[in-house]
Structure 1
Amino acid sequence: MRNRRLMYALVFFVLGFLITISFEHARTESDIVQLGGEEWEEEFFYRNQLIELEEKNKQLRSELNQMKQEINKVEASLSDEKDSIHHLVDMKNKLQKLTGALPIKGEGIQITLEDATYVPNEEHANNYIVHDRHIHTVINELYSAGAKAISINGQRIFRSSHITCVGPVILIDGQTYPAPFVISAIGDSEILNVSLQLKNGVMDYLVQDHVQVTIEKKGTIEMQAKEL
């Protein structure tokens, strides 16, 4: 902004100078008219002065045009710099959203994992509940399909998050959550949904492990920033 003000000041100064020159030129021309009745030598002298003034004005106009072109170039450069700064700020905000430093929202899907409602043999009840391996499988598939952000039961998780199974509950970075486990993922809902339901993929694996799965597409999912 300071550079732009200096340029405008310079342009106004040059314009003022040209106006002053033009005014002096008009006065000189008037004097020449008054002196039109003088001898031929004197008239020739003033005509040469007029020609020199016209050449000087022409040169000044040329210099002014060059300065305007330079100002246009600088303004374009400043505009590009502004766009570049805007781009960097936008990129910074996107990275902060991905790292959890800022809230994020967008379309996506919601996957609910529940323990089996029917356990035929209580001695093998452990085979009918959701384990951390099931959650890891879903999360890895979502990231592979382009998920921008993921949460479990409302808690943001990241690739470095620690998820472990402790009996019927899971620990996520030290926080305890019971079933059902609601996994929300922000991203292209169609791609995420298709990725989970590929033949012999994640969905089939969960069903074979007696996990009840529900998948819903969501127009908008909101996730809060990571708590410090």
Structure 2
Amino acid sequence: MKLRGRHVIFSLVLFVFGFLITFSYQQTKNFTQPNELDEQEWERDFFYRQQLIQFEDKNNQLQREIDQKRQDILRLERQLSAEAEEIEIAVDKKTKLQLITGELPIQGPGLFVTVRDSEYIPSEENVNQYIVHDRHIQLIINEMYSAGAEAIAINGQRIFSDSYVYCVGPVISVDGIQYPAPFTIEAIGDPDTLQESLEMPSGVIDILLNDQIEVEVGKKQTIEMGARIG
């Protein structure tokens, strides 16, 4: 009986000892696996974080490039806008010059001056002293240009920079085309300025009247003149 009791006790001790070893191993295994999993998760997390950082850096770089492109586009638009304004100004100047030189037709408000030979010519006087001469026409034209006339015509024929006016007996020749009196000189420009310039004291109108020339001055709302032909 005593021997069997010792065996029982010894067996019990061995059982408890084995249980403790098994329990300890299981606990150690349980503690080890989470640590291994935590390390793997940390590595994945680190990898994804690095990827995210790279993506953010790339995105920032692309954003900077986009901002730079926008600045370049704005600068180019301002440059093109300035060039367009310069072109528009140049075209406007060219058009104005073409109107003045007669390359284009022109119309606008203005003034007309009609001059006639004197109706009364004393028999003892020289008739040439009572008729319109080319110098009278040229005097009117010069004064009109000085007053800002943009275009001038004589009896409907437009005057150009190379035009010539001279007397041929009782008629006036304009670029080879002859016109009898009366002569109407039209000018496109500011009517008030043109009239004030012509009617200044001791000015053109007074000179014409002193030369026994009959003069009529009037404003016109619209005067049309054609372009040079050929």
Q: TM-score, normalised by structure 2?
A: 0.79
Identical positions, percent: 54
**How far apart are 1:94 and its partner, in Å?**
1.1
Report the residue type matching 1:79 in the other structure: S
Question: Aligned partners of 1:82 and 1:59: how far apart in 2?
Answer: 34
Matched residue, 1:183: 185
Which of 187, 207, 210 is matched with 1:208 structurally? 210
Q: Which residue of 2 aligns with 1:44?
A: 46
Instruction: Say which SS state the counterpart of residue 92 (structure 1) adopts.
Output: helix
Does residue 111 in structure 1 map to residue 120 in structure 2? no
Partner-residue secondary structure (3-state), 2:149: coil
Q: Distance in 2 between matches of 1:83 and 1:51?
A: 48
Corresponding residue number in structure 1 for 2:142: 140
- Which deviates the most, 95-104 or 36-45? 36-45
Residue by residue, what CA displacement relative to the aligned partner does 1:145-185 show, whole Å, maximum 9, x if unpaired?
Answer: 11111100011113432111111101111110011100001
* Separation of aligned partners in 1, 2:117 and 2:219: 22
Aligned counterpart in structure 2 of residue 94 of structure 1, from 96, 100, 111: 96
Q: Which residue does 2:229 correspond to in 1?
A: 227
In 2, the alpha carbon distance for the partners of 1:224 and 1:151 equals 10
> 1:187-198, aligned counterparts within 5 Å?
187-198=189-200
Aligned residues: 193
- Deviations 1:62-104, CA, capped at 9 Å, x for gaps: 1111101101211221222222222222211111111111101
Distance in structure 2 (CA, Å) of the matches to 1:166 and 1:108: 29
C-alpha distance in 2 between matches for 1:217 and 1:37: 102
Q: Distance in 2 between matches of 1:37 and 1:114?
A: 117
The one of 55, 58, 61 aligned to 1:59: 61
The alpha carbon displacement at 1:38 in A equals: 4.9
Give SS of 2:119's match.
coil
Amino acid at match of 1:67: K
Question: Distance between the aligned counterparts of 1:123 and 1:167, measured in 2?
Answer: 17
2:160 is matched with which residue: 158, 177, 180?
158
| Paired letter, 1:58 | N
SS of residue in 2 equivalent to 1:113: strand
1:168 equivalent in structure 2: 170
1:80-91 equivalent positions in 2, closer than 5 A? 80-91=82-93
Find the counterpart in structure 2 of residue 68 from structure 1.
Answer: 70
Structure 1 runs, 4 residues or longer, greater than 3 Å off: none
Distance 1:169 1:122 in 2: 23
**Equivalent-residue separation in structure 2 for 1:144 and 1:85 (angstroms):** 29
Match for 1:139: what amino acid? I
Contact map agreement 2:129 2:212 (CA 8 A) in 1 = yes
CA distance in 1, matches of 2:125, 2:196: 36
For the residue of structure 1 that corresponds to 2:126, the secondary structure is helix
TM-score by length of structure 1 reads 0.80
2:3 aligns with: none
Gaps of 5+ in 1: 1-35
